[in-house]
Amino acid sequence: MRYGVWECKIVVDADVAIPEGFDWPPRSAACNAVETAGIPIVACFSGWGGGLSEAQLAVIEDRLPEAGRGR
């Protein structure tokens, strides 16, 4: 089976305290938006342990990307 995958990264300062279970509100909002559009969801994966690619880091840090950096 083939899948369509939408990806979203919400970036916050690492010093901000994320409350226990706070992955639920943004995940719930995204799932509700997709289901409201009549699109069935096969699965949803989310959490605050993600990373950024070098290109994404460069955008946030307002600089040109460096080869071989980021994840």
Per-domain residue ranges of the chain: 8-30+39-71
Residue 48 has pLDDT above 80, yes or no: yes
67 pLDDT band, cuts 50/70/90, is confident
pLDDT in tens, 17-38: 999 999 999 999 999 999 999 9
**10-38 per-residue burial string, b: 16 or more CB within 10 A, e: under 16:** eeeeeeeeeeeeeeeeeeeeeeeeeeeee
Which DSSP letter does residue 31 get?
A: H
Let me know: does 45 contact 31? Beta carbons within 8 Å: no
Q: Provide the pLDDT for residue 32.
A: 98
This prediction has a pTM of 0.74
